[in-house]
Amino acid sequence: MYINGQWLTADEQIEVVNPAVNEVIATVPKGGAGEASKAVDAAYEAFTSWSKKTAGERAELLMAWYRLIDENKEEIGRIMTEEQGKPLQEAIGEVTYANSFISWYAEEGKRIYGETIPASDPKKRLFVSRQPVGVVAAITPWNFPAAMITRKVAPALASGCTAVVKPASATPLTALKLAELAHEAGIPNGVLNVVTGDSKSVAGAWMEDSRVRKVTFTGSTEIGKVLMKQAADTMKKVSLELGGHAPFIVTAHADIEKAAKGLIGSKFRNAGQTCVCANRVYVHESIEKEFIEAFKAEVKTLKVGNGMESGVNIGPLIDKDAVEKVQSQLEDAKSKGAVVEMGGETKGNYVTPAVLTNVTDEMDCMVDETFGPLAPITVYRTTEEVIKRANNTPFGLAAYVFSEHLSEAIEISEGLEYGIVGLNDGLPSVAQAPFGGFKESGLGREGGHHGMDEFLEVKYISLGL
Ligand SMILES: NC(=O)C1=CN([C@@H]2O[C@H](COP(=O)(O)OP(=O)(O)OC[C@H]3O[C@@H](n4cnc5c(N)ncnc54)[C@H](OP(=O)(O)O)[C@@H]3O)[C@@H](O)[C@H]2O)C=CC1
Ligand SMILES: O=C(O)[C@H](O)CS(=O)(=O)O
C-alpha cells in the first residue's frame, strides 16, 4: 500500500493470480479500515497545499507522471497482462489510453473557468467560481487496471482534489506501479494514496468518513447501488460507471465489412470483458446471412492464448467464475434453440470466441451482461422494432449502429436510450469525450470537460459594494 508517500505492509496478504496459468505471481498487503483511515488522514492533510497550487504547477507534476508512465509503458503492460490476462499489445494500448487522461486533464485543469453575473442591484457584483470538492475516494475494477484509475485520479488531481484509491483485489499491481511512478514524478505525499485490501472494510471506512467528499466508482451495478446508498449518510458527491448490455445494430444499409470489423473490436476487446462490449447483435433480416458469413470470417482470424505470446488476440477471462458465466449463458441459449456457429470451447480460463445465431430475446445472454467472448445474433425487421428491443433493458451505457443511410442512422441513434452511441464505430472511448450511462448503468460522466465537473463544487459569491 502507498499511503502518504510511504510503502506500508499488513499482517495479512492478498494473493495475485495470473489468470493465464492460474498461478500466484505476487502478494499485496490486505489493508483494512485502519489503513483506509490513515490514507484519508494523508489526503485530507495534503488537500490544503495541493489545492493552493496553481493549475499550472499541478499540470507540471501530472505531466512528469505522464512521461514516466510513457517511458515505462512496456513494463506496466507486462504487469497488467500477468495480473489481468489481456494480450500484451492490448495492455500497452491501455497504458497509452490511461495516460491520455493524465495529459488531457493536466491541460483541462487550467480551464476551470468561473463567471460573473449581471446584478439586479447596482450595489452588488455577482461572481461564480468552481472549487475542488476535497478528498476523493476512487474504487476501481479489474478489467482496466490502469485506465479506470487515471480516468478518475487525473481530473481529481488536476482540479486540486486529493485521492484515496482502492484497486480491484485481482489487479492491484498495476495500481501500485502507477503510484510508484507518481511518487517518482514528485507528486507530493498524501495527494495520491493506494490502499489494497478488503473492499468492504476499506471502502466502508471511506464511505463513513465525512472528510471524503466524493466517491467515484467503476464496477458492477450491484456494488454501485451499495455505494450510492452509503454515500447518502454524509452526502458525498457520487460518480458511478456501472454495468452495461450494449446492443449492436446492423441495418440493411450497413457497410457489411465495416460492421463485421466493428463488431470484432467491440465484442472481443479484453476477451469481451468491458462494460461497453457489444452484448447482443441485431441484424436486419435482409442481410442476415451475408453479415454472419462476414463476421465468422473475421472471428476465424482471432488467436486465443496466453497474452504474453505474440499474435494473441484473446487472452483468458479473469477467473473461473467468469468462464462459468459464459458457459451458463451458452448452454441456456442452446437449450432455447440457438445455433452455435463456432467457438464456445473452454480450457482453464480460456473461452474461444463464440458466435450464436437463431437467437431470441428470451435467452439469458440477451438480458444479462455476459462479460465474455459470446456474440449472440438475432434478426429484426423494422427500425421501430429494433429501437424498442434495444432499449428493453435496465442498462443504458453503450450502443452501436452500423448504417450508411444518414437519416436512418440519426433516427436510430436518437432513439437509443444510451449514454454512448458508436455510429459506424465500435470503439468510441476517448479521454476528451464524456463516458457514462443512462438508467442503471450509472451516474455522472468521466472524460471530457464533463468529467472535470464531477470533482468541482460551484460557489456563488455575492459582493455588496
Ligand atoms: N461502466 C464501466 O465503465 C464499467 C463497469 N464494469 C462492471 O463491473 C463488473 C465487473 O467488474 P468487477 O470488478 O467484478 O465489479 P465489482 O463491482 O465486483 O468490483 C469493482 C470494485 O468494487 C470493489 N468492491 C466489491 N464489493 C464492494 C463493496 N461491497 N463495497 C465497496 N467496494 C466493493 C471491488 O473490490 P474487490 O476487487 O476487492 O472485490 C473492486 O475494486 C461488470 O458488471 C461490469 O460491467 C466494469 C468496468 C467498467
Ligand atoms: O471498464 C470498462 O469497460 C471501460 O470503461 C471501457 S473503456 O472506457 O475502456 O471503453
pLDDT of residue 253: 98
Please give all residues whose beta carbon lies within 6 A of any atom in ligand 1, as ranges: 139-143, 166, 168-170, 199-200, 203, 218-220, 223, 226, 241-244, 275, 369, 371, 397, 442
User: In 3D, which of 213, 196, 215 has the Cα closest to residue 36?
Assistant: 196
pLDDT of residue 355: 98
Per-residue CA distances from 224 to 219, 221, 238, 240, 318 (Å): 7, 5, 10, 6, 20
Please give the average per-residue pLDDT across 52-69, as a whole number: 98
Q: What pLDDT band is residue 406 in, cutting at 50, 70 and 90?
A: very high
The whole-angstrom separation of Cα 99 and Cα 348 is 32
Give me the pLDDT at residue 111, please. 98
3 state SS of 452:
helix
Active site residues: 241, 275
Q: Which ligand is nearest to the CA of 201?
A: 1
Kindly report the backbone phi and psi dihedral angles of residue 88, in degrees, each rounded to the nearest multiple of 5, phi listed first: -55, -45
Ligand 1, pocket-test mutation among 101, 143, 318, 323, most atoms within 8 A of CB: 143
- Residue 7 is inside which H or E element, if any? strand 6-7
* Nearest ligand, measured from the Cα of 140: 1
Q: How far apart are CA 260 and CA 69, in angstroms?
A: 34
Q: How many angstroms separate the CA atoms of 303 and 343, rounded?
A: 12
Which residue has 450494449 as its cell numbers? 246
165 forms beta bridges with 138, 194
List, chain by chain if needed, residues with CB within 6 Å of any ligand 2 atom. 141, 143-144, 147-148, 218, 241, 274-276, 429, 435
pLDDT at site 96: 98
**Could you give phi then psi for residue 135, rounded to 5 degrees?**
-80, 130
Place 179 in a pLDDT band, splitting at 50, 70 and 90. Answer: very high
What percentage of the chain exceeds 70 in pLDDT? 100
- Tell me the β-bridge partners of 128: 115, 460
Over range 279-292, report the average pLDDT: 98
pLDDT at 204: 98
CA-144 nearest atom, ligand 1: 47
Rounded Cα distance between 270 and 207, Å, is 31
User: From the CA of 417, how far away is ligand 2's center (Å)?
Assistant: 18
| pLDDT 10s digits, 61-91 | 999 999 999 999 999 999 999 999 999 999 9
Spatial distance between the Cα atoms of 237 and 228, rounded to a whole number of angstroms: 9
Residue 31's SS3 state is: strand
Among 174, 214, 212, 210, residue whose Cα is nearest residue 194: 174
Local confidence band at 37 (pLDDT 50, 70, 90 cut-offs): very high
The preferred substitution site among 395, 435, 445, 446 for testing ligand 2, maximizing ligand atoms within 8 Å of CB, is 435
Q: What is the ipTM of this complex?
A: 0.93
Asked if 68 and 184 touch (Cβ cutoff 8 Å), the reply is: yes
What mean pLDDT is predicted for residues 137-153?
A: 98
Type of residue numbered 213: R
Beta partners for 137? 164, 215
Distances (CA, A) of 389 to 256, 317, 360, 362: 21, 29, 11, 11
Pairing relationship of beta strands 339-342 and 354-357 according to DSSP bridges: antiparallel
Nearest residue (CA) to ligand 2, atom 7: 429
- Tell me the average pLDDT of the chain: 98
Specify the ligand 1 atom closest to the Cα of 442: 1
Q: Considering every ligand atom shown, identify the ligand nearest to the alpha carbon of residue 317 and give its number.
A: 1
pLDDT tens readout for residues 415-447: 999 999 999 999 999 999 999 999 999 999 999
All 3 cell numbers of residue 218?
467503476
Residue 308, CA distances (Å) to 24, 26, 77, 88, 189 in order? 16, 17, 10, 6, 35
Report which bound ligand comes closest to the CA of 396: 1
pLDDT of residue 300: 98
User: Nearest Cα to 372, choosing from 396, 335, 343?
Assistant: 343
| DSSP alpha helix (H) spans, 256-302 | 256-268, 288-299
Grid cell 452501436 — which residue?
A: 400
CA 236 – CA 138 distance, rounded (Å): 12
Pairing of strands 374-380, 354-357: parallel
Q: How confident is the model at residue 322 (pLDDT cuts 50, 70, 90)?
A: very high
Distance 219 CA to ligand 1 centre (A): 3
Nearest CA to ligand 1 atom 37: 168
**Other C-beta atoms lying within 10 Å of the C-beta of residue 293:** 12
Distance 217 CA to ligand 2 centre (A): 12
Angle between helices 73-84 and 55-71 (to 10 degrees): 70
**Residue with CA closest to ligand 1 atom 32:** 199
Contact 146, 174 (CB under 8 A): yes
Q: How, if at all, do strands 374-380 and 278-284 pair?
A: parallel
Residue 4 CA to ligand 1 center (angstroms) comes to: 25
Break the chain down into helix, strand, coil percent, rounded to 5. 45, 25, 35
State the Cα–Cα distance between residues 451 and 396, nearest whole angstrom. Answer: 18
Cα–ligand 1 centroid distance for 28 (angstroms): 18
Could you identify the atom of ligand 2 that is nearest to the CA of residue 244? Answer: 3
Q: Burial level of 111, CB count in 10 A (0-12/13-18/19+)? A: exposed
In 233-389, DSSP assigns E strands to 237-241, 246-250, 278-284, 339-342, 346-347, 350-351, 354-357, 374-380
Cα(132) to ligand 1 centroid in Å equals: 26
| Ligand 1 centroid from CA 297, angstroms | 34
E runs forming strands in 58-155 = 115-117, 124-132, 135-139
Helix, coil or strand: residue 356: strand
Q: Which residue's CA is the closest to the ligand 2 atom numbered 8?
A: 429
Question: Ligand 1: which of 139, 196, 319, 420 to mutate, judged by most atoms within 8 Å of the beta carbon?
Answer: 139
Kindly report the length of the chain: 465
3-class state of residue 97 by DSSP: helix
**What stretch of H or E contains 243?**
none
Angstrom distance (rounded) from CA 7 to CA 21 = 29
pLDDT-derived band at 215 (thresholds 50, 70, 90) equals very high
